[in-house]
Amino acid sequence: MRAMVLDKPGQPLRLRDVEKPRPSSGQLLVRIATCAVCRTDLHVVDGELPDPKLPLIPGHQIVGYVEEIGTQVESRFNVGDRVGIPWLGWTDGDCAYCRSKRENLCDQARFTGYTIDGGYAEFTLADARFCFHLPDRYNDVEVAPLLCAGLIGYRSYRKTGDARRLGIYGFGNAAHLIAQIALYEGRDLFVFTRPGDRATQQAATQLGAVWAGGSDEMPPQKLDAAIIFASVGALVPAALHALVKGGIVVCGGIHMSDIPSFPYADLWEERIITSVANLTRQDGKEFFNIAPRVPVKTKTETFPLEEANTALDRFRAGELSGTAVLLI
Ligand SMILES: [Zn+2]
Ligand SMILES: [Zn+2]
């Protein structure tokens, strides 16, 4: 089968003919239709995340069809079913985290397109327990960005509780999806972009944000919560400074530059800083339940599999107008 392979971080992916995998116990063999490109793929390819499997097939927002079923697979999947394969690929089910409904923190977790092979290929294997059925209202391209930007964005959003005034720093793919849910649930949305990025600010107000401005500005009212989707550590003290007492800042990314120091007074009065790591299957269940009801709409730009490097380069340069989706 054809696959785009990372031999060494910092190098472009190479188109290769690799052996088609065989499903073992508990696994599905999936014929891949689409795979959306996530910022985390960039971090993996650029060597910003430690110890990837090498050589590696990246990609963890996979939409495909069950081609073959290994032994001991639960009956919720049949050959031909459409499945979504997310970032969380496997957990031990047995550590202190797994036993307390925090499988996203599992000590032994394996991650699709990072520590196990992912979706920049014609086929992949997936542990059936971690695959999702996908809502019918979306086609294979539209639904792909929901599998990480949507899911992990949703986990970040849920951490803000019932915050009425919600700030979002960085208005990329995840933010755009989560903003739609926040508006659907009646939150007042404040969007922060790169200073001077009028186009993105306009897009945010068109979507329904009550205010949009630069990340160097203070919002007209203090925020109950803020989510940071940009990987810029300096936004943490900025967001914290914009919070009411008891407010929360949620860092929604897997990788962020260092956070500069800030006065303790900005944390005082029970303000909270937290991060979001990975996802649980429960997050997926809830998200794929609410997303079609909103309905959350995705913006995509498609590329053939063999142009994955172009997609990554354009993502890195900020030149994409939607989530890049590879057509396999
Ligand atoms: Zn575990
Ligand atoms: Zn991702």
CA dist 146 → 36, 84, 95, 123, 202 (Å): 9, 9, 28, 20, 23
Task: For residue 183, give the 3-state DSSP assignment.
Answer: helix
From the CA of 98, how far away is ligand 1's center (Å)? 4
From the CA of 153, how far away is ligand 2's center (Å)? 10
Ligand nearest to the CA of 108: 1
Give the number of other CB atoms < 10 A from CB of residue 140: 19
In this structure, is the dihedral angle defined by the CA atoms of residues 110, 312, 316 and 174, taken in order, positive or negative? negative
From the CA of 220, how far away is ligand 2's center (Å)? 32
Ligand nearest to the CA of 109: 1
Tell me the residues surrounding ligand 1 (ion) with CB < 5 Å.
Answer: 91-92, 95, 98, 106
Task: For residue 144, give the 3-state DSSP assignment.
Answer: helix
Q: Are 46 and 8 in contact (CB under 8 A)?
A: no
pTM listed for this prediction: 0.92
In this structure, is the dihedral angle defined by the CA atoms of residues 150, 145, 211 and 197, taken in order, positive or negative? positive
Task: For residue 188, give the 3-state DSSP assignment.
Answer: strand
From the CA of 41, how far away is ligand 1's center (Å)? 24
Structure confidence at residue 168 (pLDDT): 98
Query: Which residues does residue 251 pair with via DSSP β-bridges, in sequence order?
Result: 228, 275
From the CA of 180, how far away is ligand 2's center (Å)? 19
From the CA of 281, how far away is ligand 1's center (Å)? 13
Ligand nearest to the CA of 114: 2
Question: Per residue of the chain (328 residues), what is the pLDDT tens digit?
Answer: 999 999 999 999 999 999 999 999 999 999 999 999 999 999 999 999 999 999 999 999 999 999 999 998 877 899 999 999 999 999 999 999 999 999 999 999 999 999 999 999 999 999 999 999 999 999 999 999 999 989 989 999 999 999 999 999 999 889 999 999 999 999 999 999 999 999 999 999 999 999 999 999 999 999 999 999 998 999 999 999 999 999 999 999 878 899 999 999 999 999 999 999 999 999 999 999 999 999 999 999 999 999 999 999 999 998 998 999 999 9
**Over the range 224-248, which residues count as b (16 or more CB within 10 Å of their CB) and which as e?**
bbbbbbbbbebbbbbbbebbeeebb
From the CA of 127, how far away is ligand 1's center (Å)? 15
Q: Which amino acid is at 147?
A: L
Structure confidence at residue 224 (pLDDT): 98
Q: How far apart are CA 27 and CA 165, in angstroms?
A: 43
Q: How far apart are CA 115 and CA 320, in angstroms?
A: 27
From the CA of 136, how far away is ligand 1's center (Å)? 31
From the CA of 276, how far away is ligand 1's center (Å)? 17
From the CA of 149, how far away is ligand 2's center (Å)? 6
Ligand nearest to the CA of 99: 1
Ligand nearest to the CA of 92: 1
Ligand nearest to the CA of 94: 1
What are the start-end ranges of the E strands in 130-219?
Answer: 165-169, 188-193, 211-214
From the CA of 185, how far away is ligand 2's center (Å)? 24
